[in-house]
Amino acid sequence: MPSSPVRLMAIGVAVLLLVGCWPLGPSPSLTPTVTPPTSPLPTTTPTVTPIPPQPLMTTLVLWVPEDLSPYAETEAGALLAQRLEAFNQTQADLQVETLVKKAHGRGGLLDFLRTASVAAPSVLPDLIVLDLEDLRVAAQAGLLQPMDGVLPAGLAEDRYPFAAELGQVGGQTMGVPLGVEVEHAAYWPGLFAAPPLTWTAVVSAGVPFVFPAGGQDGGVNDTTLIEYLGAGGRLADAEGNPSLDEEPLAAVLEFYAQAAAAGVISPSVTLSITDTEGCWEALRSGQAGIAAVDSRRFWTAPNPGLAPAPLPSRSGRVITLARGWMVGLVTSDPNRQERAMELLAWLLAPEGYGPWTQSLGYLPATRSGLASWAVDESSRAVLGALLEGAQAAPPQPVREAVGPVLQEAVEAVLTGQHTPAEAARQAVESLQP
C-alpha cells in the first residue's frame, strides 16, 4: 500500500538525526598542497673578459722645410719617411704628423710660427726645423722654449763641441743641429806632395788657389772669416761689440799678397767669384788645383780624384764655420716636451741619422752619426777633424758689422791699393767708436 506522506516525512527526519549524530572528521583544508621544490640546477654566470682601456693617442706635430720633406721623391725623403713611420710603429700612444712649409719668406716657417703664436696657438707645432739665423730670431722673440733639462740622454757627450754652441741663444739651449754645412778645401792630390794644410804649403806648391774673394752683398766670404779666426782673430770685443784684431787680419792679407805675387792667386779670377759654386766650377774645369768648397756640394756630387781637406790656415789649425738646420722646441706643455724629446732622440739615433744626413749632404752634428757614414777612412778622418774644429757661424748683426770692412780690406790688397798692414789697420780703426 502506498506510504502516506506523514510516514515518508518521519523517515526523512530520522535519517537526518542519524547523520547529525555521526562523528565528523576534521574539516578539509582549503590551503593547496605545495610540493617541496627539488634542488635548483646550478646556473652558469657568463665570464666577461675585461677590455683593457685604450691609451689616449697623442699626435706630435713637426714642421720641416721643403728641403727636408719626407714626402720628396728622393732617397733622403724616403729615408726620413721610413724613419718617422718606424717611430710611429714603436709607439702605442704616440704618432707624428709632419707638415712641410717653405724655408723662408712670407708663408715660410718663421712667418707661420709668428702668425700662429698670436692668431691660432692651437695649430702650433711641437717641434720646428729652422735655419740657424731664423732659430736665433725665433728664440729672441720668445717663440721657442729652452731645451736645457729636457734634452735626450747622452746627447751632450755625443755631439760635437760646435753643436752645443750653435744652439745657444742668450745663454740657453734653444736648438739642436739636425744637419750642417761648412766650408772646406778640395784639391787634386796629384798636384801636391802632401795635403796643403798651411798658407806656406799653398804658396810653395805654386798651384792655383781660388776662393770667393768677390764677397756677397758687400760682405766678406766665409773663407776669409775662417782664415782670420784660425789665425787667432776675434769678431767681437769683451763687451760683445763688433771688432777686429789687427795682427791676425794683417797675417791673412799678407798670405793673399804673397799668393798673388807667386801667381797662386789670380786677383782678376778670384775677385770675380762670389760664392763657392764658382770655386767648384773653377776646380772642375782645371782653373784651380785647390779651392774653397761647400761641404754639401762636395759630398753630394763628389768628383772622382778630388780629395777633401780643411781650409789652409797659418799654423795648420783645423777650423771652419758651421750653419744649417736646427730643431727648436715650441710646446710649453711638460708632457708633450717629454714626448717631443723621444722623437728627437729617435731622429738622432745613428742607424737612421747617419744614412739620412749623408744622402742629403748635410754633415751630422754627432760623432755616432758620422760613424754611420759610408765613406773611406781618410775622408772620415777629414770630416771628423772639421767637425771637431768647427765653430758656430757668427750672428747676422756681427757679420753685417764686420763683413763690409773685411771685404774692403781684401779688395784693397788684391788690387794693390794698400799693403796688408795698411788695409788691416784701416779695417780695425773703422770699427772703433
Same structural domain, 361 and 328: yes
In a domain, 6, yes or no: no
Domain with 370 in it: what CATH number? Answer: 3.40.190.10
Same structural domain, 261 and 407: yes
**Structural domains counted in the chain:** 2
Q: Report CA 277 to chain centroid distance, whole Å.
A: 26
DSSP letter (8 states) at residue 102? B
Interatomic CA distance for residues 199 and 297, integer angstroms: 24
Same structural domain, 152 and 192: no
HEC-encoded secondary structure of 180-213: EECEEEEECHHHCCCCCCEHHHHHHHCCCEECCC
Same structural domain, 271 and 408: yes
pLDDT along the chain (433 residues), means of 10: 40 36 39 45 54 73 98 97 96 95 96 96 97 97 97 93 95 97 97 96 98 95 97 92 96 98 97 97 95 96 89 97 98 97 97 97 98 96 98 94 97 98 97 85
In a domain, 7, yes or no: no
Same structural domain, 415 and 384: no
Q: b/e string for 109-142 if b means 16 or more Cβ within 10 A?
A: bbebbeebbeeeeeebbbbbbbbbbbbbbbbeee
pLDDT at 47: 57
Residues spanned by the domain of 224: 183-321+394-431
Same structural domain, 338 and 257: no
pLDDT digits (tens, 9 = 90+) for 314-372: 999 999 999 999 999 999 999 999 999 999 999 999 999 999 999 999 999 999 999 99
Interatomic CA distance for residues 138 and 214, integer angstroms: 31
Same structural domain, 282 and 423: yes
Interatomic CA distance for residues 336 and 43, integer angstroms: 51
pLDDT at 43: 52
Under a CB-based contact definition with an 8 Å cutoff, are residues 275 and 181 in contact? Answer: no
* Other CB atoms within 10 Å distance of the CB of residue 24: 6
Closest among 287, 245, 288 to 425, alpha carbons compared: 245
Burial of 37 (0-12, 13-18, 19+ CB in 10 A): exposed
pLDDT at 303: 75
pTM of the full structure? 0.85
Strands 183-187 and 307-309: antiparallel
In a domain, 44, yes or no: no
In a domain, 253, yes or no: yes
